[in-house]
Chain A
Amino acid sequence: MIDIITAAVWIAGSLFALLAAIGVLRMPDVFTRMQASTKAATLGLGCLLIGGALQLGDLGSVIRLLSIFAFILLTTPVAALVIARAAYLAEVPLWEGTVLDERSASADRASGNSSRMNS
């Protein structure tokens, strides 16, 4: 029974990891690539860690896997935010199909009610 659950969770996790890699290869610019990488890779790694914890089962391994999971869950959004901020400030070109760039000056003018416009 544990073997069947482990197999299902592992297949799901490695599918998510593969999807993340394909997204990083195929997406059009840095920000969409980062989106694919962080979301799918975190979920995939979570599935793989759950399967590993079910399969190993002793206390030391489960504690190690849980701490890896907690650390990845806490740090991946922070890393994604830092990369996105650095890429935006370094003026990496956006995809030409981008609809809204909320940090640009033209978006400020278009919304018309931002606090920066009023002050």
Chain B
Amino acid sequence: MIENIAPVVLTMQGAALLIAFVRLVKGPTLPDRIVAMDLIGVLVIGLSVVLAAATGIRETLDAAMVIALIGFVATVAYATYVERGHPE
């Protein structure tokens, strides 16, 4: 059951990652790229959690925790950079 459903879920997450990456490349302003990067972080967390549950390799959960912690700090740092007046 899970062996059948996990590839579907992983494919959908991969498609979402690709779409978010299109916005990261296109994004006309820097805040657009920050939003896309934030979304990519959340999607990678979901991807590694599904991978851990489907394969039984539990070490990816630790990686997901680290990505969650660092993603927030990176977003706040980027936003501070934009707010100080460096638009590009």
| Chains A and B are bound partners | yes
A residues contacting B by CB (< 8 A) are 3-4, 6-7, 10-11, 13-15, 17-18, 20-22, 24-25, 30, 33-34, 37-38, 41-42, 44-45, 48-49, 51-52, 55-56, 60-61, 64-65, 67-68, 71-72, 75-76, 78-79, 82-83, 85-87, 89-90, 92
Neighbour of B22 across the interface among A10, A15, A18, A25, CB < 8 A: A25
Q: How far is the CB of B40 from chain A (nearest CB, A)?
A: 9
Q: Evaluate whether A79 and B32 lie within 8 angstroms (CB atoms) in the complex, with A33-B23, A41-B39 already known.
A: no
The A interface, classified by DSSP as helix, strand, loop or mixed, is helix
B residues contacting A by CB (< 8 A) are 1-2, 5-6, 8-9, 12-13, 15-17, 19-20, 22-23, 29-32, 34-36, 38-39, 42-43, 45-46, 49-50, 52-54, 58, 61-62, 64-65, 68-69, 72, 75-76, 79-80, 82-83, 85, 87
Q: Evaluate whether A52 and B87 lie within 8 angstroms (CB atoms) in the complex, with A68-B45, A71-B69 already known.
A: no
In Å, the complex CA distance between A71 and B61 comes to 14
In contact, B82 and A87 (Cβ under 8 angstroms): yes
Q: Which of chain B's residues has its CB closest to A3's CB?
A: B1
Neighbour of A30 across the interface among B5, B12, B35, B54, CB < 8 A: B35
In Å, the complex CA distance between A73 and B12 comes to 22
Q: Evaluate whether A45 and B76 lie within 8 angstroms (CB atoms) in the complex, with A21-B17, A52-B52, A90-B87 already known.
A: no
Q: How far is the CB of B79 from chain A (nearest CB, A)?
A: 4
Q: List 13 A-B contacts (CB under 8 A).
A: A4-B1, A14-B9, A21-B15, A24-B35, A41-B43, A45-B45, A49-B49, A64-B64, A71-B68, A79-B72, A79-B75, A79-B79, A83-B38
Residues of B within 8 A of A49 (CB): 46, 49
